Amino acid sequence: MTHQQPASTPPGNPILRAIGSFFRFVITLIFVLVVGALVGAGIYYGVPWAYHSVVQPIQQNTARVTALEQRMEQEQARLQDENLTLQERIAVLETEMTTLREQSAVQTQEIEESAEQIQQLEPRITQVEQDLAAQQQAVEAFYTELHDAVTDAGARSDQIVEQTKDFKGRLASLQAAQDLLRVRILLIEGDTRSARDTIALAWGHLEQAMTLMPEQAETLLELQRRVVRLNQLIEERSFRVLPELESLWADTIDLILPAILPPAEVLAPATPVEGTPTPTPRP
């Protein structure tokens, strides 16, 4: 048995091997440079893109989430405050409703009591209505009689009118006399201002009497002049106020009832009451 040895390869050209090695090196270097350029470009363009596309949205979302959380906390706080306020308002309304219910119960009771009182008053109201009807009939009968009397007295109408005017004139003079009495009382009380106002009323009543009693015009005009003089004396605080007032009152009464009521006995000179101011003469 024999052993065959492998055939040996012929040795190559060293220049070709060097050129091949150079080209392989160049190709490898170019490949490395291209890969490095691609990696650098990826890093240069990829990092900003990743930042803007991934990191920045995450940061924005984080800020928005934080803002939303803060807003939710504020809303929760506001809702809690509103809830407390609403609960307080509800408590106040419940108190007011309770008060209104109590007031309503009281008013209902008062209304029921009023209804009972009205029912009790109904018989009295009926009686009053009957009394008013009877009075109305009496008044109608009175007016009928009065109409008949006025019709029967038609022939004496002029005389009645004159008598009525004279009566009204004497009544106005009597009112003037009453005003003078009131003036005296006010002077005794020391109320000078009210006394002067009452004197003005007396003057007006005398003016009314003058219109109704023209035959006594001169006498009434003289009384009006004396009333004006009396007002001046009161303003001057003269000691002649009371004598003049008594004389004026007496003359007014004489004009009304000359022979019935003696003025001197009715309006006697007044004695000062202790502690009551009286007019004093001016210095």
Question: What are the pLDDT digits (tens) for 201-241?
Answer: 888 888 888 888 888 888 888 888 888 888 888 888 888 88
Domain count, the chain: 2
The HSE-up count of residue 179 (CA atoms within 13 Å, CB side) is 25
**Residues 213 and 180 both lie in one domain:** yes
- Average pLDDT estimate for 147-174: 70
CB atoms within 10 A of CB 174: 17
Handedness of CA 99, 104, 105, 107 (dihedral sign): positive
21 found inside a domain: no
**Residues 193 and 136 both lie in one domain:** no
72 found inside a domain: no
User: Rounded mean pLDDT of the chain?
Assistant: 76
236 found inside a domain: yes
108 found inside a domain: yes
Contact in structure between 203 and 183 (CB atoms under 8 Å): no
pLDDT tens sequence across 18-41: 888 888 888 988 988 888 888 888
- Average pLDDT estimate for 3-16: 56
**Residues 108 and 173 both lie in one domain:** no
- Average pLDDT estimate for 138-144: 78
C-alpha dist (Å) from residue 241 to 136, 184, 227, 263: 52, 9, 11, 17
Q: Which domain holds residue 220?
A: 162-266
17 found inside a domain: no
pLDDT at 123 over 70: yes
Contact in structure between 249 and 263 (CB atoms under 8 Å): yes
Alpha helices by DSSP H, 153-216: 157-189, 192-212
pTM of the entire predicted model: 0.36
- Average pLDDT estimate for 45-74: 81
Q: Mapping DSSP to helix (H, G, I), strand (E, B) and coil, where does residue 3 land?
A: coil
184 found inside a domain: yes
pLDDT at 165 over 50: yes
33 found inside a domain: no
